[in-house]
Amino acid sequence: MVLFFSYLVMSSHYSIPLLQIVHEKSPMLAQKLCLTANAGVIGLNSLMIGSPLFLAGAFKVFGKSKYADKAIIKIANHWINTNNTLIDTVLPKKDWRIHISDDLKADGKYLLICNHQSWVDTSIIQYISAGRLPITRFFTKHELLYIPIVGQAFYLLDFPMMKRHSKEAIAKNPALAGQDLDEARRACALLQDKPFVLLNYLEGTRFTTKKHNHQNSPYRHLLKPKAGGFALALQMLGNKIDGILDMTIVYPDGIPQYRDLWQGSISKLVVDIRHVKMSDELLDALKQGKYSSDDTIKHQLYTWLDTTWQAKDARIDAMLSDFSSCQ
């Protein structure tokens, strides 16, 4: 059954008209078909790229081959493009409103900050970035390394994979405190000589009302931003980047689960990507690594983040209002 639906998905003659008719006539059935077809294609595609990924990975890790690194990026782009094809051809008609700067470069180098609500966020970023930006890497949990194929792909693509030790664990073993910094430095160093987008979800976790209330966040739609990872990225990569990008994602119908994307339940979406400026003085200080040693610089960065987050909070209000007024 999975193979049958996977064939329909990849057939330009049958999948689009057939599934769109089902979406219109029987939405519940269409959601099940979408989820089955998408899961089948993604699963098969992941299995197909497994062997070439591991082979290229071995040449990269043990042979330090730049050609292997390029091959891994091509494999990742194939996987992402397949997912994007599913979004374009299998899902029902969508009202997705994308606002993005028209001067971005597919071979550029950017730091990207974004609000974080759902696992869907990352798939949306990859969807929007195709043809406009390099592959997006992001700070992720070390535990993902153990997910077959996907976890190894993250590592081979030079994602910073953080263990995020608890305060209690660090108190018992202070040596743990520097492990995440070392990992971030390792990954950032590997990105310096290639096009990249390094994504930092500054809130550090997905937004929930419970978390919002618990930390008494001063923002309506956002958790408080964290500065450490962003400051380290600027220290390691600040001299290489073409700019800092600020991405805002809004789901007008509420925060979705990951399966909602692949079963076609996210009919409304608004995304805004724009350049964001930082003063030359603050940027130069962060490039020199003064965040960890100069309290004035640390305060200035938090002030910059607060200003950026206030503007993002207001932007989310405006995006929701504009969407509602156009209905």
The answer on 202 and 79 residing in a single domain is: no
* 172-215 pLDDT tens trace: 887 777 777 787 788 888 888 899 999 999 998 999 999 999 99
Q: Residues 273, 247: contact at Cβ < 8 Å?
A: yes
Name residue 194's amino acid.
K
The Cα–Cα gap between 291 and 162 comes to 20
Beta-bridged to residue 96, according to DSSP, are: 269
Last residue of a domain, one of 93, 112, 146: 93
The answer on 314 and 207 residing in a single domain is: yes
Is 27's pLDDT higher than 50?
yes
The answer on 69 and 33 residing in a single domain is: yes
The answer on 207 and 99 residing in a single domain is: yes
Residues 6+ apart with CB under 8 A from 111: 197, 198, 200, 230, 233, 234, 237, 241, 243, 244, 245
Between helices 15-25 and 27-63, what is the axis angle to 10°? Answer: 140
The Cα–Cα gap between 275 and 273 comes to 7
- Residue 2's domain spans which residues? 1-93
Sheet bearing 268-276, strands edge to edge: 95-100, 268-276, 243-250, 109-114, 196-201, 136-138
The answer on 7 and 99 residing in a single domain is: no
Count CA atoms closer than 13 A to 15's CA, side-chain side. 22
The answer on 128 and 42 residing in a single domain is: no
* 112-165 pLDDT tens trace: 999 999 999 999 999 999 889 999 998 888 888 888 888 889 889 988 887 776
- Least Cα distance to 255 among 315, 210, 214 occurs for 210
The answer on 71 and 14 residing in a single domain is: yes
The answer on 102 and 6 residing in a single domain is: no
Beta strand extents in 202-325 (DSSP E only): 243-250, 268-276
The pLDDT of residue 10: 47
CB atoms within 10 A of CB 216: 7
Cα 12 to chain centroid distance, Å, stands at 29
113 sits in the region (left: phi over 0; alpha: psi -120 to 50; else beta) called beta
Q: How far apart are the first and last CA of the chain?
A: 38
Domain count, the chain: 2
The answer on 229 and 199 residing in a single domain is: yes
User: Per-residue pLDDT averaged across 29-46, rounded?
Assistant: 88
Last residue of a domain, one of 38, 73, 93: 93
CB atoms within 10 A of CB 263: 23
Cα 218 to chain centroid distance, Å, stands at 25
In a domain, 52, yes or no: yes
The Cα–Cα gap between 65 and 8 comes to 38
- Least Cα distance to 138 among 72, 197, 206 occurs for 197
Is 109's pLDDT higher than 50?
yes
Give the CA-trace dihedral at 30, 35, 40, 46, to 10 degrees: 140
The answer on 289 and 237 residing in a single domain is: yes
The answer on 104 and 77 residing in a single domain is: no
* 256-306 pLDDT tens trace: 999 999 999 999 999 999 999 999 999 999 999 999 899 999 999 999 999
Would the pTM count as exceeding 0.75? yes
The answer on 73 and 117 residing in a single domain is: no
